[in-house]
Amino acid sequence: MKAKKLITLFALLAVFGLSQAQSFPNKPLRIIVPYPPGQASDQITRMVADKVSQAFNQPIIVENKPGAGGNLGTEIGAKSPADGYMMTIGTAALPISKLVYKKLTFDPINDFNGVTLMTTMPLVLVVPPGLKVNTVAELVEYAKSNPGKINFASSGIGTSHQLAGEMFKQYANVDITHVPYKGSPPAHVDLMGGSVDMMFDNIVAVGPHIKSGKLKALAVTSKTRSPIFPNVPTMQESGYPNIEAVAWFGVLVPKGTPTNVINRLNKEFVAALTMPEIKNKLQENGAQVVASSPDEFNAFMQSEVSKWANVINTAKIVLD
């Protein structure tokens, strides 16, 4: 009798799980973007969410929750009910936060399940026009000839921009000094004016300055060249195969969200990302559409933690 009851229970649970998948979603959904409106994470999210909303026939409310380097909104997302109705946009800041912040009340990686890695986009190593170097090799030679005199800008301590610079410093074995700014725009001003010597930044952010000639692009940090700057080599082509760093944006749900709900979300987000109108628009702006599976996204995030751990430990970057 006990065996029959167990079989009946498992059958009921299977039916319940199937009915959940079929009925989800039956109310509005929300996505937290842990950064201000207008940034790349916000623009991409709204573009894709609009298509997913149409597929679900339910509103998707995008909520900007900036603060604490993205940790404020991310924490809200991590501690939300694990039912699929609250999603969070994850970025390259997540594995970095896990490694550099020692007092977080949540785990930026392990408190989430991935839905899909939406896009990646390279960083670009840029220098002012007045700096008499035109290749990575020339920059390294110049830095080694002037130890301690070359500085590199970033949008802040613990950002992917800083870590790309630290990675370059370690692998190229050059003595360069980090100069953190409060965001990319003021760093760009000083870079274009020659007050700082180099910077790794998102291709979308520095693209207009490269096109206008106000900055020189020496290399991109992706494995392949960017379609919008096909003449700019990769760091690998420039002699540094270990230097790879991309900005990325993905959809997350709290740990414990039912697998069938995650798969349902994945199906619609992937469908939206691969629509020609969406894919072309993203590629025009320098983004590479990935549209991964949940498992692929989870594995990618863990690989990002492993990649940055050595860089962070060597540079001794710690934040409260």
Both 109 and 129 in a single domain? Answer: no
Is 116 in the same domain as 148?
A: no
In this prediction, residue 204 carries a pLDDT of 84
pLDDT for 2 = 54
Q: What is the pLDDT confidence band of residue 116, given thresholds at 50, 70 and 90?
A: very high
Q: Could you tell me if residue 296 is inside a domain?
A: yes
Q: Identify the pLDDT of residue 156.
A: 87
Q: What is the pLDDT of residue 9?
A: 52
Could you give the number of structural domains in the chain?
2
Domain that includes residue 204, residue range: 122-220
DSSP helix/strand/coil, 118: strand
- Tens-digit pLDDT profile for residues 27-74: 999 999 998 888 888 989 999 999 999 999 999 999 999 988 889 999
Alpha helix stretches (DSSP H) within 112-151: 136-145
Claim to verify: residue 126 and residue 209 sit in the same structural domain = yes
Residue 22 lies inside a defined structural domain of this protein: no
pLDDT of residue 286: 87
pLDDT band (50, 70, 90) for residue 320: confident
> What pLDDT digit, counting tens, does each position of 197-244 carry?
999 999 988 999 999 999 999 999 999 999 999 999 999 999 999 999
How far is Cα 272 from Cα 55, in angstroms, rounded to an integer?
Answer: 9
pLDDT above 70: residue 167? yes
Six token digits for residue 228: 């919008």
For residues 127 and 179, membership in a common domain is answered with yes
Residues 301 and 214 grouped into a single domain: no
CATH of the domain at 158: 3.40.190.10
Q: Label residue 5 by pLDDT band (50, 70, 90).
A: low
Of 9-13, 70-74, 296-300, 311-315, the poorest mean pLDDT is in: 9-13
Per-residue pLDDT for 6 more than 90?
Answer: no
Q: What are phi and psi of 34, to 5 degrees?
A: -80, 30
- For residue 233, being part of any structural domain is answered with no
Instruction: Tell whether 174 is covered by a domain.
Output: yes
When pLDDT is averaged across residues 100-121 and rounded to a whole number, the result is 95
Does 44 fall in a domain?
A: yes
Structure tokens at 189: 């001003």
Q: Within a domain: residue 158? A: yes
Query: What is the residue-wise DSSP string for 10-78?
Result: HHHHHHHHHHHHHH--SS-EEEEESS-TTSHHHHHHHHHHHHHHHHHTS-EEEEE---GGGHHHHHHHH
Residues 131, 49 share a domain:
no
Q: Which of 202, 220, 238 represents a domain boundary (last residue)?
A: 220
**pLDDT for 95 beyond 70:** yes
Flag the least confident range among 4-13, 76-85, 184-193, 227-236: 4-13
Q: Is the pLDDT of residue 16 over 80?
A: no
* Domain-ending residue, one of 205, 220, 235: 220
The H-or-E segment that residue 192 falls in is: helix 184-193
Percent of all residues in the chain with a pLDDT value above 70, rounded to a whole number: 93
7-21, 62-76, 150-164, 250-264: which has the highest mean pLDDT? 250-264
Tokens in use for 87?
A: 């999603």
Q: What is the rounded distance in angstroms from the CA atom of residue 246 to the CA atom of residue 164?
A: 9
pLDDT at 7: 54
Q: Indicate whether 159 belongs to any domain.
A: yes
Q: Are residues 33 and 102 in the same domain?
A: yes
Whether residues 96 and 178 share a domain: the answer is no
State the CATH number of the domain containing residue 262: 3.40.190.150
| Judgement on whether residues 38 and 105 belong to the same structural domain of the protein | yes
The pLDDT, as a whole number, for residue 8 is 55
pLDDT at residue 183, as a whole number: 84
The whole-model pTM stands at 0.85
The mean pLDDT value for 249-277 works out to 98
Same domain, 128 and 216: yes
User: What tens digit of pLDDT does each residue of 61-84 get?
Assistant: 999 999 888 899 999 999 999 999
pLDDT in the model for residue 22: 64
Our measurement of the distance from residue 203's CA atom to the centroid of its chain's CA atoms, rounded to an integer in Å, reads 13
Instruction: Kindly state whether residues 203 and 126 are assigned to the same domain.
Output: yes
For residue 20, is it within any domain?
A: no
Residues 41 and 31 in one domain: yes
Q: Which of 151, 186, 220 is the last residue of a domain?
A: 220
Average pLDDT, the chain: 92
pLDDT for res 253: 98
